[in-house]
């Protein structure tokens, strides 16, 4: 890991007439090439952080503080400098476009490829995310796939333009535990192969601890603790982190499951 990819200083996000805080004065550095997990319960500010980074906050949100991008040297370009994998690919994927069209569009737009080259890249990406029969999948529609397969397509679309940062926002929470493990292994492999920085957002500290480098714990819109995985799990600095850890029976065994269903 070389240097800082993104630096947040007193980042705050508020909503509504009463300006309820969704993020409260967050100071956090994301290192270039690291796999950082953002963990915490629902409503703790995890997804708001992801959307703030990606410039996808809803209208009416008020943002305070500063974000710096030293590794890029410029403001991030959505779709080009970062890819975004949402929780529900059934919503994020377009139901009336084929999988090939949806993946190729990002490559065509951001890499200045012609459609023929973009389609070739889309099929290559479907192979990389281990989609069965990628040539056939190119012509399929999202409703013809399982939840795990749709998430693979969403990941392929997110990395189509070769982003430097991949944001996975609860990308495994709607999947069963076996498919969760497969998706985590897939993300881990892609990030390592392409040298991407990964922001893995989850409420499941056990799942995250099996493959990330560092954990940042959020609670009530605040960052309560951050550190290396082993340090956070063995010596949590906050009562909230200790409670998250205690909610899982065993964090000593990596949650990645070998094999798959027959």
Is the model's pLDDT at 1 over the cut of 80? no
For the sheet with 214-219, list strands across it.
82-85, 165-169, 197-202, 35-39, 214-219, 222-228
Phi first, then psi, for residue 40 (nearest 5°) are 155, 165
Identify whether residues 250 and 131 lie together within a single domain: no
Q: Given pLDDT bands bounded at 50, 70 and 90, which one contains residue 228?
A: very high
Residue 88 lies in a domain: no
Question: In the predicted model, is pLDDT for residue 151 greater than 50?
Answer: yes
Which residues, other chains included, contact 31 with Cβ-Cβ below 8 Å and sequence gap of 6+? 1, 3, 4, 5, 197, 214
* CATH number of residue 23's parent domain: 3.40.50.300
**Whole-number Å distance between alpha carbons of 67 and 55:** 11
Cα–Cα distance, 233 to 90 (Å, whole number): 34
- Examine the fold and report which residue of 116, 136, 162 is the final residue of a domain before the chain moves on: 162
How many domains are contained in the chain?
2
CA of residue 210 relative to chain centroid, distance:
15
- How far apart CA 215 and CA 191 sit, in angstroms, is 17
Same domain, 47 and 142: no
Question: Is residue 192 a part of any domain in this protein?
Answer: yes
Host domain of residue 40: 1-81+163-262
Judge whether 60 lies within some domain. Answer: yes
For residue 207, is it within any domain? yes
Q: 140 with 97: CB under 8 angstroms?
A: no
101 with 163: CB under 8 angstroms?
A: no
- Residue 173, CB-side half-sphere exposure with 13 Å CA sphere: 16
pLDDT digits (tens, 9 = 90+) for 187-218: 999 999 999 999 999 988 888 888 999 999 99
- Per-residue pLDDT reduced to its tens digit, 46-89: 999 999 998 889 888 999 999 999 999 888 888 899 999 988 88
Q: What predicted TM-score, i.e. pTM, was given to this entire model?
A: 0.89
262 and 171 within one domain = yes
Q: Do 150 and 208 share a domain, yes or no?
A: no
Query: Is the same domain home to 107 and 221?
Result: no
pLDDT band at 252 (very low <50, low <70, confident <90, very high): very low
- Calpha distance 192→198 (Å, rounded): 10
């Amino acid at each position: 890991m070389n240097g800082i990819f993104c630096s947040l200083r007193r980042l705050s996000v508020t909503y509504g007439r009463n300006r309820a805080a969704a993020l409260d004065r967050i100071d956090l550095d994301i290192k270039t090439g690291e796999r950082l997990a953002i963990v915490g319960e629902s409503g703790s500010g995890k997804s708001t952080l992801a959307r703030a980074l990606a410039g996808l906050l809803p209208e009416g949100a008020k943002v305070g503080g500063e974000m710096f991008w030293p590794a890029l040297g410029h403001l991030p370009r959505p779709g080009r400098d970062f890819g975004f994998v949402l929780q529900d690919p059934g919503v994020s994927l377009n139901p009336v476009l084929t999988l090939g069209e949806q993946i190729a569009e990002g490559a065509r737009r951001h890499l200045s490829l012609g459609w023929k080259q973009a389609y070739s890249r889309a099929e290559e990406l479907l192979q990389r995310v281990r989609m069965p029969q990628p040539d056939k999948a190119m012509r399929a529609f999202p409703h013809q796939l399982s939840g795990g397969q749709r998430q693979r397509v969403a990941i392929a679309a997110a990395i189509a333009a070769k982003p430097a940062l991949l944001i996975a926002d609860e990308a495994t929470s709607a999947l069963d535990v076996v498919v969760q493990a497969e998706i985590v292994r897939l993300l881990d492999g892609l990030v390592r192969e392409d040298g991407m920085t990964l922001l893995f957002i989850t409420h499941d500290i056990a799942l995250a601890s099996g493959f990330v480098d560092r954990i940042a714990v959020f609670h009530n819109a605040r960052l309560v603790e951050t550190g290396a995985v082993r340090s956070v799990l063995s010596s949590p600095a906050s009562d909230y982190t200790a409670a998250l850890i205690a909610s899982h029976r065993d964090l000593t065994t990596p949650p990645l499951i070998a094999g798959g269903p027959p």
